[in-house]
Amino acid sequence: MAGWYELNKNDKGQFSFVLKAGNGEVVLRSETYESRSGAENGIASVQKNCAVESAYAHSDSSDGRFYFNLKAANHQVIGTSQMYKTTAARQSGMESVRTNGPTTVVKEGA
């Protein structure tokens, strides 16, 4: 099964999205947007930038775990990964974003 985006609205009326892999695991989480259209633009930016190698910024957390940010051409962070125990796992997470990011399937969150 292919991945999908899940668009969510919080109790303050703000929107965010996650990109899920085909197995339902979250591989990328967005910032919070004031409007639905802002979140939809964020999804479009992931779709556009997920195949661009230089859009991935590798980072290490203070506790020794690893993560990455996906950035737009203007260097703004579009989404952040989960924390990984190894750099190999982080690499797999980036591959999952490359594979699932182009999807046009958007589901409403719970």
Each residue's pLDDT tens digit in the chain (110 positions)?
689 999 999 999 999 999 999 999 999 999 999 999 999 999 999 999 999 999 999 999 999 999 999 999 999 999 999 999 999 999 999 999 999 999 999 999 86
What amino acid is encoded at 100 in this protein? N
Cβ proximity of 43 and 100 under 8 Å: no
β-pairing verdict for 26-30 and 15-20: antiparallel
Which neighbouring-strand residues pair with 20?
Answer: 4, 26
Cβ proximity of 107 and 5 under 8 Å: yes
- Outline where the chain has alpha helix (H): 36-49, 87-100
Cβ proximity of 18 and 8 under 8 Å: yes
pLDDT value at position 1? 65
pLDDT value at position 110? 66
Cβ proximity of 100 and 20 under 8 Å: yes
